[in-house]
Structure 1
Amino acid sequence: MFSSIRLRLSLSHLTVIVLAMGLSAFLLLSFLEDYFLDAAEDSLEAQARITAQALIPGAIAVEFQPVDEDWNPAYNTVQQQQVSNIAISTENLPSLPIDTSLSETDLAYLTDASLQLSTQLETRIRILDAQGIVLIDSQQEEQGSDLATDSIVSEALLGKTSSRTETSGEDTMHLALPAIDDGQIIGIVYLSQSLGDVTSVLHDLRSRMVLSAGIALLVSAIVALFLSRAISNPVRRLTTAASAVAHGNFDQQVPVRSKDELGQLSRTFNDMTSRLQAARQMQTDFVADVSHESRTPLTSIKGMVETLRDGAVDDPDVRDRFLSTIETETDRLIRLVNDLLLLSQADSEALNLHRDSVDLSELVQTAIYQFSHKAAEKELDLQTEINPNTPTVWIDSDRIEQVLINLLDNAIKYSRPNGTVTITVTPGKNQSVLVQVRDEGIGIPTEDLSHIGQRFYRTDKARSRAEGGAGLGLAIAKAFIEAHGGQLWIESKEGQGTTVSFTLPSA
């Protein structure tokens, strides 16, 4: 149903907004309703005190005190002023005893006085005696009725001011206040006031809030659509680009227009496609290089075999020379296949390492001895600098010996005659041993330095191929070192020489 991320984002934003607005409106309306009801109750209680002072003899001792603003902020200045004005207008009303002994004349007078107050207060006034009997009713409907069982009258008969709100029909607030003289309840003032004004105000507030919420919701929907589009557009571009990559098109790049998580995702995607494209190019180059490296010896072998088959086999000199060349080219192919197998095992982390605690100085001396004759042919001086405090290393000695042989072979191969090749072994950092093979040869051009160690990469392709190299020696050395948990790096200056360094974990 909600298949579009843009739609889901918009709906999620709107859901949060609607919930927040609904909860805020509910809390605000609840607060305002309590506020106005408290104000109405405070005003009604003040009116009841004025009525008691005006109509009940002895209750004049119950001094009228306006409700404290600090105690209830709902009772505001306007209401206090209104009640004070009514209090002044009732100061000269005479008080008559509140009991059944009232004459008809006195009763009529009190009824007229209550009607006057009721008109001024817009409140129904009932005066009850100490037994809860209605003596005076400004609406003249319940005179003589017994209201002692009324809940708020019962509270008033116990000396407590009490109120309640009725919501059936027209909302009305009722309040019963005891009139006390010398600690005795001498009567009860029972007031009833319509809450129509409060209801009207609350209804108006609800209407305004609904209208405001509708406008806010519309604006929020528009903003949510823009925000969701800002999020969904990059996702859509990433989806399209990822689909293209899945179909083999690796040259995909998406624009990076932010620094947030989506921007980081876009940058990561671009980096991934660049690496995939580079890996595919490397794979293509690898296949081409393997084909090229194997084609040369195979072509040579095929040509010599055909020549021998055509009759050259009868010539002993030609036969022996051709067979020797075939053997050399076959060995070259075997080395190439073995090297590729080693690299494949390294890539799949399938190299079998037979580790042991080994003294590197012995491996170095063995490698030096193997190349002593080759170095002598170029009049090179092979030197070693081994720190006596160098710890033993935890390695596969056969693999590391092959690393030393590959590095020494390159150092001698690219050194000038009468130069020096030095192997240095010293303690390294973080419980490791540092080995360096340094020559004074032709060096490596700066533009080629970052490619050294890549498979089949050679700075001097013609010379390397002529000397039998396939460009895999450093790649194998690096794979062996990294399989041991070490690192290999190269430093070189063209025309001054090259230093190949690697680290191995100490035992």
Structure 2
Amino acid sequence: MNKSLSTRLMYSFMALIVVIVVGVTAGISYFIADYFFKIKEQELAQKGNEMAETIEYFMLRDTDRTTLHRYIVAVDRLVGARIWLFDNKYDLLAASLVNTDEDADGNKLIRNYNSKEGTELLGKEIKGGNLSTKVRSILKDVYSGKSVKSQIFHPYYKEQVMLVGVPYGKQDGAHGAILLAEPLSGFDSFLRDIYIYTSIVGVLALILSLFMVRRLSRSIIRPLISMKDSAAAIASGDYTRKVEVHGEDEVAALGRALNALGNDLSAFVDKTERTEKIRRDFVANVSHELRTPITIIRGYNEAISDGTITDKEMIQRYRALINEETIRLERMIRELLNISRFQASDELTTGIEPLPLAEIVRNVTEKLMVKSVKRHVTLVIHADENIAVVGNGDQLVQLIMILGDNALKYSPDNGTISFTAVRQEDGSVLLSVADQGPGIPEEDLPFIWERFYKVDKSHCRNVPGTGLGLAIAKEIIRVHGAKAQVFSIPGVGTRFEVTFPKEKVVLC
């Protein structure tokens, strides 16, 4: 069964809290117990060593051992440890003990061994059965002169105790053993209280984690759901669906990335649609532009070949028209081939040299002068004579000719066209051609570099040209490593700017 992300987060948090609580509890319990046992063992061993000297004194002077019993009971009450005193033959000499037992009916019976008679009774009980193997092993180590520290389940007290055994007697050999047994029931109760407390804290932490996880999961899952819906919308072709992004975390970054992807896909689809439209228009325009001169050539040629036209002047006129259309068709094919050749290369490979830009601008304006004079259009040149651009001379002439010719075509009579070539502060060179024509609408600016693209076809029917000039100019600019910008205000004019990088600039 698949679980939601919020459920998995909740289980993960709860498991983490359980592990932390259990680990902290186990660690604290271990360190507390270790510290407690070390302190108690040292305390009991110290008290046992102190008792050894006193017990030796009583063993020599107190024949009935009554005072010895009282001393052991007093130490028991002072230290809180039950004390057994053995001789070197595993016989119990004295004991401090208050123990309880139950009879056959379940009633508690108090057996008091805090007397000589009680010790003898306990000794008989021990001798009546076998002395615990564990206690016998401890006594054996003590008889050999060692101090023993151990935690055992006492076979007579029926509970877990901390047992310390120390020898007493002369240095040349032990006369007996002192066993001090402190019950661990109090410490176990203390640990139980810790476990109860940590359990309560753990339960409260689990409850708190539920609320925290719910809130956290909502803050994470809500944008994820929005991203899922947005991705589904993008997959179905709807790129307008956006993810609501809040904050600066990784989820927000993912949301912004998805929104950016939607924007990029939308732009790509729009560009693809525009490219497809341009392609269709290109095919239609090429077909139209090629079909028109071919139709004219064929029609006039058939008229001449059929003999239907006998007037020599008419025949000569038809031949002139056929020649003009042939030249037009040849120019169109040549320009298409130029565009294809430029697109096939990333940079200039032939005819590269430093070229004086001012001289190229003057040569181009001289060629345009014949057309400009007829329409009373003024050509203004502002060019720096001390700069040269590394490039191909024929292509730069073609570039400036295309820009100048377009400006002349769309300039009104008595207008002004400005040619500028200056060096900028960053070392680059700016070439600009500005006219006072009708301008270009802003929505058409991105497409003016496309082949056969015309801004307003209804206003451009009488403008001569193949519609390939700016497409060729775009490729020339690209292979020269330059950048182009167009600034146009409808009704005011248009300015084309070409910036050559400083790497392409040479000072004369």
TM-score (norm 2): 0.69
User: Deviation digits for residues 244-288 of structure 1, max 9, x if unmatched?
Assistant: 3xxxx4x52222300521222132122212212321231233134
Q: Does 1:256 align with 2:243?
A: yes
Letter of the aligned partner of 1:435 in structure 2? L
2:463 is matched with: 467
Give the alignment of 1:70-89 within 5 angstroms: none
Q: Does 1:405 align with 2:363?
A: no
Cα pair distance change 1:322/1:207, threshold 3 Å: farther
Letter of the aligned partner of 1:503 in structure 2? T
| Equivalent residues of 2:297, 2:326 under 8 A apart | no
Residue 426 of structure 1 deviates from its aligned partner by 1.7
Give the alignment of 1:381-420 within 5 angstroms: 381-390=378-387, 392-420=388-416
Give the alignment of 1:46-445 within 5 angstroms: 56=51, 97-98=56-57, 100-101=59-60, 103=62, 105-106=64-65, 108-111=66-69, 113-115=71-73, 118=76, 123-126=81-84, 136-138=94-96, 147=138, 150=141, 156=147, 165=151, 172-175=161-164, 190-194=180-184, 195-201=187-193, 203-204=195-196, 207-208=199-200, 211=203, 215=207, 222=214, 226=218, 229-244=221-236, 249=237, 251-259=238-246, 260-297=252-289, 298-299=291-292, 301-302=294-295, 305-306=298-299, 309=302, 314-315=308-309, 320-322=316-318, 324-325=320-321, 328-329=324-325, 331-332=327-328, 335-336=331-332, 339=335, 350=346, 353-354=349-350, 356-359=352-355, 360-390=357-387, 392-439=388-435, 441-444=436-439
| Equivalent residues of 1:432, 1:503 under 8 A apart | yes
| Equivalent residues of 2:428, 2:500 under 8 A apart | yes
Cα pair distance change 1:495/1:219, threshold 3 Å: closer
Cα pair distance change 1:300/1:332, threshold 3 Å: closer
d(CA) in 1 for partners of 2:440 and 2:260? 32
Letter of the aligned partner of 2:437 in structure 1? I
1:30 is matched with: 27
1:87 is matched with: none
2:115 is matched with: none
| Equivalent residues of 1:380, 1:417 under 8 A apart | yes
| Equivalent residues of 1:444, 1:459 under 8 A apart | no
| Equivalent residues of 1:403, 1:480 under 8 A apart | yes
1:478 is matched with: 474
Letter of the aligned partner of 1:282 in structure 2? R
How much is the aligned-residue C-alpha RMSD, in angstroms? 4.7
Give the number of equivalent residue pairs. 449
d(CA) in 2 for partners of 1:39 and 1:256? 60
| Equivalent residues of 1:443, 1:494 under 8 A apart | yes
Letter of the aligned partner of 1:305 in structure 2? R
Cα pair distance change 1:487/1:335, threshold 3 Å: same
Q: Secondary structure at the match of 2:386?
A: coil
Q: Secondary structure at the match of 1:437?
A: strand
| Equivalent residues of 2:58, 2:67 under 8 A apart | no
Q: Secondary structure at the match of 2:412?
A: coil
| Equivalent residues of 1:453, 1:474 under 8 A apart | yes
Residue 408 of structure 1 deviates from its aligned partner by 0.7
Residue 164 of structure 1 deviates from its aligned partner by 5.0
2:100 is matched with: none
Cα pair distance change 1:204/1:414, threshold 3 Å: same
d(CA) in 2 for partners of 1:152 and 1:400? 115
Q: Secondary structure at the match of 2:481?
A: coil
Residue 30 of structure 1 deviates from its aligned partner by 0.5
Q: Which shows bigger deviation, 259-268 or 118-127? A: 118-127
d(CA) in 2 for partners of 1:473 and 1:395? 19
Cα pair distance change 1:454/1:462, threshold 3 Å: same
d(CA) in 2 for partners of 1:220 and 1:341? 69
| Equivalent residues of 1:115, 1:138 under 8 A apart | yes
User: Deviation digits for residues 304-363 of structure 1, max 9, x if unmatched?
Assistant: 635764787632555555555455455555555555555566667656543623222343
Letter of the aligned partner of 1:442 in structure 2? G
Cα pair distance change 1:358/1:51, threshold 3 Å: same
Cα pair distance change 1:431/1:200, threshold 3 Å: same
| Equivalent residues of 1:254, 1:266 under 8 A apart | no
User: Deviation digits for residues 345-388 of structure 1, max 9, x if unmatched?
Assistant: 66676565436232223432332233222222223333432223
Q: Pick the structure with greater CA Rg.
A: 2
| Equivalent residues of 1:442, 1:497 under 8 A apart | yes
| Equivalent residues of 2:441, 2:490 under 8 A apart | yes
Letter of the aligned partner of 1:105 in structure 2? D
| Equivalent residues of 1:257, 1:263 under 8 A apart | yes
- Percent sequence identity is 19
Letter of the aligned partner of 1:173 in structure 2? M
| Equivalent residues of 1:382, 1:422 under 8 A apart | yes
| Equivalent residues of 2:29, 2:191 under 8 A apart | no
Residue 420 of structure 1 deviates from its aligned partner by 3.4
Residue 150 of structure 1 deviates from its aligned partner by 4.6
Q: Secondary structure at the match of 2:60?
A: coil
Query: Structure 1: 5+ residue runs without aligned partners?
Result: 59-94, 157-161, 180-184
Q: Secondary structure at the match of 2:64?
A: helix
Q: Does 1:453 align with 2:440?
A: no
